[in-house]
Structure 1
Amino acid sequence: MLSSYNNNKVIYSGTGRRKTSIARVKLIPGSGKLIINGLPGESYLQFSPNYLRISCAPLNILGLHKEYDIYVKTQGGGLTGQADAIRLGLAKALCSVNPENRITLKSEGLLRRDARIKERKKYGLRKARKAPQYSKR
């Protein structure tokens, strides 16, 4: 979604969700830096190459990793859910940059929302499905 103009720069935005994490991604033409909640992306994601690879996957697939600055506000969940939410929000923002990007991102499965969330605990059970130990006598 085309959000607004900021000092003659176009800002593209997208929202991603995963488990209980929500990421609001803003894409601004720039040099390729990643800022998450006001911190550099590497330090926020604890210098994990896996989380960085997941978060920036849409840019790497399209070959645009040095074209845009990414500003993210994320909340809820843990780092895995947040990294996946950032990936989805980034993919949606890239679709608003150029509608032709949608074909590539969709074929890679990056526009699919992963709807798996934690199952609620049921009464009479210890967890969602774990039952108390059965004793015959």
Structure 2
Amino acid sequence: MVTNTSGKKKTAVARATVRDGSGKIRINSQPVELVEPESARLKMLEPFRVVEDDLREDVDIDVQINGGGFAGRADAARTAIARGLVQHNNDAELRDAFMAFDRSLLVNDVRQSEPKKWGGPGARARYQKSYR
């Protein structure tokens, strides 16, 4: 059985394919152990810390990530992986465990950075006004 899911964070989009297998997790065709920085790798593997380890040995996961920086990519990947595990196992108990741990494991964070506008250095900040 093959399950396809996706996750988003900022401008990063991750698409995960979960299938029965032997516990291999690949991010953009590389083993997850090679992902740098380490904080991003730990973030991507968070769904497996919530559930028991034997779940990881039963599935192979391939994740393709486009866009964003390393933090957004890590969050998008963890959402895609968690959704894929829930869908693949069709397990309401697993879904509840993820929701209790962190809602963003299953729900995309829709916040986007606001575009810069004229009259200032950023989206909201304005240039200082001088009277003299």
Shift of 1:66: 2.6
Q: Go from structure 1 to structure 2 and tell me whether the alpha carbon gap of 1:37 and 1:55 turns closer, same or farther (over 3 Å shift).
A: same
Which residue is equivalent to 2:19?
A: 28
Once residues 22 and 59 of structure 1 are traced to their aligned partners in structure 2, the CA distance between those partners, rounded to angstroms, is 20
- Correspondent of 1:38 among 29, 43, 57: 29
Which residue is equivalent to 2:38?
A: 49
User: Identical aligned pairs, as a percentage?
Assistant: 34
Which one-letter code corresponds to 1:105 in the other structure? Answer: F
SS at match of 1:115: coil
Structure 1 residue runs without a partner (length 5+) = 1-9
Which one-letter code corresponds to 2:131 in the other structure? Answer: K
Shift of 1:22: 0.3
Structure with higher helix content? 2
Once residues 83 and 30 of structure 2 are traced to their aligned partners in structure 1, the CA distance between those partners, rounded to angstroms, is 22
Structure with higher strand content? 1
Please say which of residues 52-61 and 20-29 is displaced more in the overlay. Answer: 52-61
User: Could you state the TM-score of these two structures normalised by the residue count of structure 1?
Assistant: 0.83
Which residue is equivalent to 2:63?
A: 72
Correspondence 1:83 to 2:85: no
**What CA deviation, in whole Å up to 9, does each residue of 1:18-38 have, x standing for no partner?**
000000001122222221112
**What CA deviation, in whole Å up to 9, does each residue of 1:57-87 have, x standing for no partner?**
1122112233322101110001111110011
User: Could you state the TM-score of these two structures normalised by the residue count of structure 2?
Assistant: 0.86
Please say which of residues 72-81 and 55-64 is displaced more in the overlay. Answer: 55-64
Which one-letter code corresponds to 1:129 in the other structure? Answer: R
> What is the RMSD of the two structures over their aligned residues, measured on CA atoms?
1.5
**Equivalent residue pairs, number:** 126
Structure 2 residue runs without a partner (length 5+) = none
Shift of 1:133: 2.1
Contact kept? 1:56, 1:65, Cα under 8 Å:
no
Correspondence 1:125 to 2:120: yes
SS at match of 1:102: helix
Moved over 4 A (4+): none
